[in-house]
Amino acid sequence: MSLPILGRIGFCVSILWVLIAIFGSLIAPYGMMDMSGGKVFASSSLAYPLGTDFLGRDLLSRILYGARYSIGLALAATLIASVSGTLLALISTVIGKWFDEIVCRVVDALLVTPSKILALLVIAIFGSDLNVLVLTAGAIYMPGAFRIAHSQAVGLNAMEYVTVARLNGESTLHIACREILPNMIHPMMADFGLRFVYNVLMLSGLSFLGLGVQPPYADWGSLVRENLSGLSSGAAAVIMPALAIATLTIGVNLLIDSLAMRGHARASR
């Protein structure tokens, strides 16, 4: 896969954070809740490469453990949003008529609902369980994924080869899965990356407000919140989790932009 230099940087950063999310607990110097005896908001040292947090715990270990929640929850929510949105768009397009009209109107109503307010409402009712967070984030970003997939599917559904397949008596399932879906993969992959970034930021924001991942677990948003008292002194315990969120989102955005540019260049040939 040929990518420009910025795309390669984004790819390397994204893969690095995914590997950290998977193997971070194995390379962390201390346990996530290990009271290592360090000074509160200590600076970087050999024992604590990124310093310590508000309880004297190793910050590097906390960030490595937190990656699995910041990335894992966002990835699960994005899978729910993209897969369900794409499947619903396919079904709606190939069935058409009144079913497509009803689905589109329901999705339009969901799109105009403020996502943050809806998330706060759901969490206030059902709590901050990890499953609730994932399902809520997935449901919030599903309408956007549906709209992108639907616009692609409608255009492809009008293509001549789809019409020929219908005239040949191919089933609706065959048309959806063999004629339309394969030609939607690249746009939906780019949309998947974008929704992943949205989910990382939203879930981190909820954790920052104290409504996301709850102790004893911690993601990067909750690491920023619990160490805010060190902000005035410029403690790394506030800066480093924020940098982790920034590098992940920037890396994924660089990769998405490069893939989109590559797709446009291929389409224009």
Domains and CATH numbers, the chain: 71-268 (1.10.3720.10)
Q: Please provide the distance, in angstroms rounded to a whole number, between the alpha carbons at the two ends of the chain.
A: 17
Residue 229 DSSP one-character state:
G
Query: Do 188 and 148 touch, CB atoms closer than 8 A?
Result: yes
- Supply the Cα-derived Rg of the chain in whole angstroms: 22
Query: Do 182 and 128 touch, CB atoms closer than 8 A?
Result: no
The tens place of each residue's pLDDT in the chain, 269 residues long, gives 577 888 899 999 999 999 999 998 889 888 877 766 668 888 888 888 888 888 888 899 999 999 999 999 999 999 999 999 999 999 888 887 888 899 999 998 888 888 888 888 898 888 888 999 999 999 999 999 999 999 988 888 888 888 888 888 777 788 888 888 888 888 888 889 889 999 999 999 999 988 888 888 889 999 999 998 888 777 788 899 999 999 999 999 988 888 766 554 554 44
